[in-house]
Amino acid sequence: MTAAAARGSTTIADKAVRKIAERAAQEALAAPTADRPRGSAAVDGRRATVALRVALPYPAALSDTARRMQEHVAARTRHLTGLDVAPPRLTVTRLEARNAAPEPAAQEASKTGSSRRRWWSARRVPAAGLILLAGAACAAVTIDVIRVHTTGQGAGAWRASAVDRLAGLRVDNVGVTVAALAAAALGVVSLVLAFTPGRRRLLALATDSACQSVVIDRFTVATLVRDAVGCVDGVEEVRVRVRRRRITVKARLAFGDQESAQRRSVSAAERALDRCRLRRSLRCSVTVRPTPAWQAPHPDSSDPVAVDEKGRTA
């Protein structure tokens, strides 16, 4: 018998790795949430893969929080089990507000809807361009006038030429008409930029305080909805497009009943949107179409997944 055989071997169960990963995910959260992290784990030799479903607190930087949690869970699980653990796959199930009991004034402000519905852009580029253009023109005229009064010389050739040319123009001149239209168009664009909100890719979240303004990126909402619909049995190739007031979901069905998959996909998408807590609800359109290789289930076969009247799995 060899020395290695005499020492024996240690086998770590999937359940043990899962519990360690769930506890490590709870440790990574600075503010504990009401929902405890749930996950799954699979051990293959000396390697382990972990997947977690967690609720994250907000307001917080979601990408930084998720990355910090992945690093902590992988390092903690690797240290306690001795296995080679890759960064776990995270699924954010919901966002929880840190303040459990808002103030009465904040509640009243939330009811009256005084918080911002959209984030406004600073419009730095168009404002800077307009300021530089106007400033350059004013500076050129001012410098020429100061030079005339201080040195006693005549006006600059460019200014005298411009004045003579403008004095000789008629109102019905084509150049005057084009310049007027260009100035009017510039004014309309400036007014539109001033009175319309920017940052169209950000969606406002419902908050309990008028002093807080929290937003979420459209890509994040699309990812949450895509993951939720992708968990429906038989659904694959989920594509999601989020607009200002509507979200469109298109999925392909590989197997199973199409009507049942349609109901469950609609229910999953609506639940994902409810967890996002958007200030303005989005109209959700879900379309599930079969793939070319899909075949209708046999009439005598029963759906193995029980579905209630709202399309939720039992």
pLDDT in tens, 195-251: 766 667 777 787 766 566 677 888 888 888 999 998 888 888 899 999 888 999 999
Length, in residues, of the chain: 314
Q: Based on C-alpha coordinates, what's the Rg of the chain?
A: 31
**Dihedral of the CA atoms 182, 187, 191, 197 (nearest 10)?**
40
Both tokens of 220, joined, read 């994040």
User: Measuring CA to CA, which residue among 88, 91, 90, 72 is closest to residue 80?
Assistant: 72
The DSSP H or E segment spanning 149 is: helix 124-151
Residues of the chain scoring pLDDT < 70: 1-8, 30-34, 98-123, 196-199, 208-213, 298-314
What ranges in 170-293 are assigned the alpha helix state H?
Answer: 174-195, 218-230, 258-276
- For residues 270 and 274, what is the distance between their CA atoms, to the nearest angstrom? 6
Question: What is the structure's pLDDT at 104?
Answer: 45
Helix and strand numbers (H, E) in the chain are: 9, 9
CB-based contact 93:54 (threshold 8 Å): yes
- CA-nearest of 230, 285, 292 to 261 is 230
The Cα 288–Cα 291 span in angstroms is 10
CA angle, residues 307, 231, 228, in degrees to nearest 5: 95
**Cα gap 131→231, rounded to integer Å:** 52
pLDDT tens digits, one per residue of 127-156: 788 788 888 989 988 988 888 888 888 888
**Listed residue (127, 119, 47, 146) closest to 279, CA to CA:** 119
Residue ranges of E strands in the chain: 38-44, 47-58, 84-85, 89-97, 202-204, 215-217, 235-242, 246-253, 283-290
